[in-house]
C-alpha cells in the first residue's frame, strides 16, 4: 500500500484536472499537500475540496520570482518537500503555418521553462528529503497526432522528457529521483475544447484507437503519478511511464 504519511507533496497546476486529482489522492494517502497555480480563486476552491489544511500558493511557474516564493511557502508551512509534481501546462492548438512566435514562446515559458525553474528551486529541499520529481509530459511528445495542430506543445513536452533524464542523472547521486508520465487523452478543462465538439460517431472512432476502448480518468493518471513519486518506486529514475490505455502500442 502506497502511503505518504509525514511527507509533503507539491503539485503545480493543482487546481484542476489530474493535478487536482493527484493532490486529492496524495492527501488521502497521508501527505501534507500544497497546490500552486495562477488563478487564486480556483486554487482556494480546490484546496477547500481537497482538505482544510491544504496550502494553496498563487504562482506562475514561468516566472522565477513566483517559483522562489512558492518553494519558500512550502518550506515555511511544512519545513520539507518530498515530492514535486510538475503538472502546470498550457496548449495552443493551431496549424504550424498559422502559429506565431508569441504563442510559441508562451507555451514554452510554462511547459518547459516552468519545469526547469521548479526543479531548480525545489532540488535543495528534495536533496534534504531524498525525494522525487514527477514531470508531466504527453504522448504527443512521442507520437504527434496527424494534422500538426499543437507543434509548440508537442515540442515542449518532448523537452520535458530531456529535462527528466538530465535531472535524474545529475541528482541521482544525492538521492533525488526524477521520472516523467506521458498521459494519453483524458477529458479535463484543457481538452474539453476538443472533446465537446465530437459527434457520437467521432467519439466512437477516437475510442477505437485505444485497446481498452475508453479514455482515461484524472484519478487513473494521478495514481500512476503518485506511484512514481512514492517509495514504491525507490529504484526507478530517469524513466518515462506512458499512461494511455495502450494507444501507442498500436502505432
Phi and psi torsions of 200, nearest 5°: -55, -35
| 204 part of a folded domain | no
What pLDDT, on a 0 to 100 scale, did the predictor assign at position 146?
74
What pLDDT, on a 0 to 100 scale, did the predictor assign at position 142?
96
- Check if 210 is active-site: no
| Domain that residue 177 falls in | 8-186+217-244
Question: Are the CB atoms for 114 and 61 separated by under 8 Å?
Answer: yes
pTM assigned to the model: 0.95
C-alpha cell at position 51: 482538505
CATH of the domain at 140: 3.40.50.720
| 194 part of a folded domain | no
What pLDDT, on a 0 to 100 scale, did the predictor assign at position 97?
87
Number of domains in the chain: 1
Q: Considering the candidates 153, 177, 178, 179, report the single residue annotated as catalytic.
A: 153
| 210 part of a folded domain | no
Residue ranges of the chain with per-residue pLDDT less than 70: 148, 190-197
| 138 part of a folded domain | yes
Q: Which residue has the cell 521553462?
A: 113
- Per residue in 53-79, is it b (16+ CB within 10 Å) or e — as a string? ebbbbbbbbbbeebbebbbebbbeebe
Cα–Cα dist 108/186, whole Å:
22
Question: Are the CB atoms for 132 and 229 separated by under 8 Å?
Answer: yes
Amino acid at each position: 500500500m502506497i502511503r505518504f504519511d509525514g511527507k509533503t507533496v507539491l503539485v503545480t497546476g493543482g487546481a484542476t484536472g489530474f493535478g487536482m486529482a493527484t493532490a486529492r489522492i496524495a492527501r488521502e494517502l497521508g501527505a501534507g499537500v500544497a497546490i500552486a497555480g495562477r488563478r487564486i480563486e480556483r486554487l482556494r476552491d480546490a484546496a477547500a475540496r481537497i482538505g482544510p489544511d491544504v496550502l494553496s500558493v498563487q504562482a506562475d511557474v514561468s516566472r522565477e520570482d513566483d517559483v522562489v516564493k512558492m518553494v519558500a511557502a512550502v518550506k515555511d508551512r511544512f519545513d520539507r518537500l518530498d515530492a514535486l509534481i510538475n503538472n502546470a501546462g498550457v496548449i495552443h492548438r493551431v496549424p504550424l503555418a498559422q502559429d506565431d512566435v508569441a504563442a510559441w514562446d508562451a507555451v514554452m515559458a510554462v511547459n518547459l521553462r516552468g519545469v526547469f525553474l521548479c526543479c531548480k528551486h525545489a532540488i535543495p529541499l528534495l536533496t534534504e528529503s531524498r525525494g522525487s520529481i514527477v514531470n508531466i509530459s504527453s504522448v504527443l511528445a512521442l507520437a504527434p497526432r496527424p494534422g500538426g495542430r499543437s507543434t509548440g506543445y508537442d515540442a515542449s513536452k518532448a523537452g520535458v522528457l530531456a529535462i527528466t533524464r538530465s535531472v535524474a542523472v545529475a541528482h541521482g547521486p544525492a538521492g533525488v529521483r526524477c521520472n516523467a508520465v506521458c498521459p494519453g487523452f483524458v477529458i479535463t478543462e484543457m481538452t474539453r475544447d476538443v472533446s465537446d465538439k465530437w459527434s457520437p460517431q467521432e467519439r466512437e472512432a477516437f475510442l477505437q484507437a485505444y485497446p481498452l476502448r475508453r479514455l482515461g480518468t484524472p484519478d487513473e493518471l494521478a495514481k500512476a503519478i503518485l506511484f512514481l513519486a512514492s517509495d514504491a518506486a525507490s529504484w526507478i529514475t530517469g524513466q518515462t511511464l506512458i499512461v494511455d490505455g495502450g494507444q501507442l502500442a498500436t502505432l
